[in-house]
Amino acid sequence: MSLKEFRKKLFGPVVYWNLIAMVIVGVALFVGLCMWMSHYTMHGEGVDVPDVKGMTLGDATYALERLELVTVVVDSAYVREKPAGIVLEQKPGFGSRVKSGREIYLTINQRQTPTNTIPDIAGNCSRREAEARLRALGFKIGPMEFVSGDPDWVVALKVGGREVYSGERVPCDVPVVLVVGRSDMEDDMEDEELGGAWDDSTEAVPQEEYEEEL
Question: Which pLDDT tens digits describe the chain residue by residue (214 residues)?
Answer: 565 665 666 556 666 677 778 888 888 888 888 777 766 555 556 889 999 999 999 999 999 999 999 999 998 888 888 888 999 999 999 989 998 889 999 999 987 778 889 999 999 999 999 999 999 998 999 999 999 989 999 999 999 899 999 999 998 888 999 999 988 765 554 454 445 444 444 444 444 443 444 4
User: Is residue 134 within 8 Å of residue 170, measured between CB atoms?
Assistant: no
Strands 169-171 vs 115-117: parallel, antiparallel or unpaired = antiparallel
Task: Indicate the pTM of the whole model.
Answer: 0.48
Those residues with Cβ within 8 angstroms of residue 188's Cβ, 6 or more apart along the chain or in another chain: none
Q: Which domains does the chain have, with CATH numbers?
A: 47-109 (3.30.10.20), 115-187 (3.30.10.20)
Rounded Cα gap, residues 15 and 11, in angstroms: 6
Question: By the 8 A CB rule, do 159 and 121 touch?
Answer: no
